[in-house]
Amino acid sequence: MSHSYDRVALIGLGLIASSMFWAMKRAGLAGEVTGYARSQETRDTAREIGLCDVVYDTAAEAVAGADLVVLCVPVGAMDSAAREIAPALKQGATVSDVGSVKRAVINAVAPHLPDGVHFVPAHPLAGTEHSGPRSGFAELFDERWCLIVPVEGSDETAIATLERFWQKLGSKTDRMAPDHHDRVLAVTSHAPHLIAYTMVGVADDLSRVTDSEVINYSAAGFRDFTRIAASDPTMWRDVFLNNKDATLEILGRFTEELFALQRAIRKGDGDLLHDYFTRTRAIRRDIIDAGQDTDAPNFGRSKT
């Protein structure tokens, strides 16, 4: 198979970067993959487990000569990462990222990039509750969407090459404008995460319901919330701070709707509740039909 890029540099070596590395190796996709992480501990771990062909101690060394540079750092660290790599980028290279927010990343990264370097932001919609260099695996992106979010003036060849790269990592790809991306993700990911974090925090606060009871009897519902609320704190802090307006707007609508349902409970309006729950049930079927989840018994989880 011909390589999409002869040399790929991964800046930041957490769940996404490590999964990209293993998926590239699985597909025989890049000639050489270099890596850099800000923390010495992460670089040591990467070297120990063979994550990246070479791990460098500076971002500039890692990106030197790279045809594709992927910024895999939290959204709040994009600006400084872009500053570090900018002087070392090869002419004609493509810079991309994997951030969950796109407008803020574009504002942070684009101003630092030299002429003659292509910038094609992207966002793979894949993750687990785990983080760090040991958490990656080659199958993470299989059948998941990767949204390609070109900026004004993005080179069509650079865009198309990055699309094929993500497809070879296992993803389906689609293109989306930055602001639209941020609104869609506020609904499908950012607001749900904040809500899950909140509910788990509330449960933790309740002294009347002891810790062990909440944990033992977590059942469906709360258990699913805890899985979401176990996601990386730094990543999610940065998401909320950088997609503030869209997230707050969705949370406002959520609160309005929650109050309406609370009122129905208080008043005993069973018809309203039943109609509402029937409508939301139908959406689930659409998601399964779209191949974005399984309806296996026990939610497809293995028994533990």
Q: Per CB under 8 A, which of residues 181..240 are in contact with a second copy?
A: 183-185, 187-206, 208-209, 211-231, 233-234, 236-238, 240
Q: Which helix (H) or strand (E) holds 16?
A: helix 15-27
Complex with a second copy: residue 60 or 214, whichever CB lies closer: 214
Find where tokens 């002429």 sit: 115
Q: How far is the CB of 45 from a second copy (least distance, A)?
A: 18
Contact between 164 and a second copy (CB under 8 A)? no
d(CA 92, CA 116): 5
Contact between 281 and a second copy (CB under 8 A)? yes
For a second copy, which stretch binds (CB under 8 A), given 24-32, 39-47, 90-98, 129-137? Answer: 129-137
With CB under 8 A as the rule, give the number of residues binding a second copy: 114
Site string for a second copy, 250-269 (x = CB under 8 A): xx-xxx-xxx-xx--xx-x-
- List C-alpha distances in Å: 133 to 43, 72, 186, 228, 244: 9, 11, 27, 20, 28
d(CA 100, CA 102): 7
Contacts with a second copy in 63-102 (CB under 8 A)? 76
Q: How many CB atoms lie within 10 A of CB 194?
A: 21
* Among 185, 70, 197, 42, CA closest to 129: 197
Complex with a second copy: residue 76 or 133, whichever CB lies closer: 76
d(CA 165, CA 48): 27
Contacts with a second copy in 2-61 (CB under 8 A)? none
**What amino acid occupies position 140?**
L
For a second copy, which stretch binds (CB under 8 A), given 28-36, 54-62, 114-122, 279-287? Answer: 279-287
Please, which residues have CB within 8 angstroms of residue 190's CB and are 6 or more apart in sequence?
Answer: 100, 239, 240, 243, 246, 247, 250
Complex with a second copy: residue 91 or 212, whichever CB lies closer: 212
Complex with a second copy: residue 164 or 253, whichever CB lies closer: 253
Complex with a second copy: residue 87 or 241, whichever CB lies closer: 241
- List C-alpha distances in Å: 117 to 82, 121, 140, 183: 12, 13, 28, 28
Q: How far is the CB of 31 from a second copy (least distance, A)?
A: 28
Of positions 48, 174, 175, 177, contacts a second copy by CB under 8 A: 174
Of positions 127, 133, 150, 178, contacts a second copy by CB under 8 A: 127
- List C-alpha distances in Å: 145 to 148, 253, 275: 10, 26, 32
For a second copy, which stretch binds (CB under 8 A), given 32-40, 50-58, 62-70, 136-144? Answer: 136-144
